[in-house]
Amino acid sequence: MKIMVVQGPNLNMLGVREQEIYGPMKLEQIHNQMKEFANQNGVDIEFFQSNLEGELVDKIQECFGEVDGIIINPAAYTHTSIAIRDAISAVSIPTIEVHISNIHRREEFRKQNMIAPVCASSIVGFGPFGYHLAMIGMLQIMNEVRAVREAQQARAAK
């Protein structure tokens, strides 16, 4: 099993920017914790961060046929990007959206979410722990997908 973690704009500044909202952890620390969890569960994991919308779309499209699940924090593009939404929809890979802050309790413009409707789930407001929750959720989704495939193969073999 393989998971791609896609990080949007300004997340490379975690630990520096607005610590009262996003906390003191750096993105590298979050990724290291995710790697550790992935290793403990026999999952391959890769990470990608960009401040550019087109690069995020390209990375999501590159996941097609290559990964079993995507964990994405589209950051500010959550509220504006039909392109990212369409890329997630096009690849049909189980995707979990993560936000460190609770976007529903913030500025009015952050309550618009273009991404959530095409994701299996959204995790918001748990700080960096949200990524751990997303990993647990993705393992569950991938196990369910595997069980369905195995059942279909067993029926087809009869």
Instruction: Report pLDDT digits (tens) over 107-153.
Output: 777 778 999 999 999 999 999 999 999 999 999 999 998 899 899 99
Looking up residue 39, the CATH number of its domain turns out to be 3.40.50.9100
Number of structural domains, the chain? 1
Q: Which of 31, 77, 79, 99 is catalytic?
A: 99
Under 8 Å between Cβ of 156 and 133:
no
Which CA distances in Å does 76 have to 37, 56, 114, 151?
27, 12, 11, 40
Q: Which of 22, 79, 104, 131 is catalytic?
A: 22
Query: What residues make up the domain containing 59?
Result: 2-157
Instruction: Report pLDDT digits (tens) over 73-98.
Output: 999 999 999 999 999 999 999 999 99
Instruction: Report pLDDT digits (tens) over 59-72.
Output: 999 999 999 999 99
Backbone angles phi, psi at 18, to 5 degrees: 35, 60
pTM reported for the whole predicted model: 0.92
**Whats the size of the chain, residue-wise?**
158
Q: Is the model more confident about 155 or about 86?
A: 86
Is 99 catalytic? The answer is yes
Instruction: Give the separation between CA 95 and CA 122, rounded to whole angstroms.
Output: 9
Is 132 catalytic? The answer is no
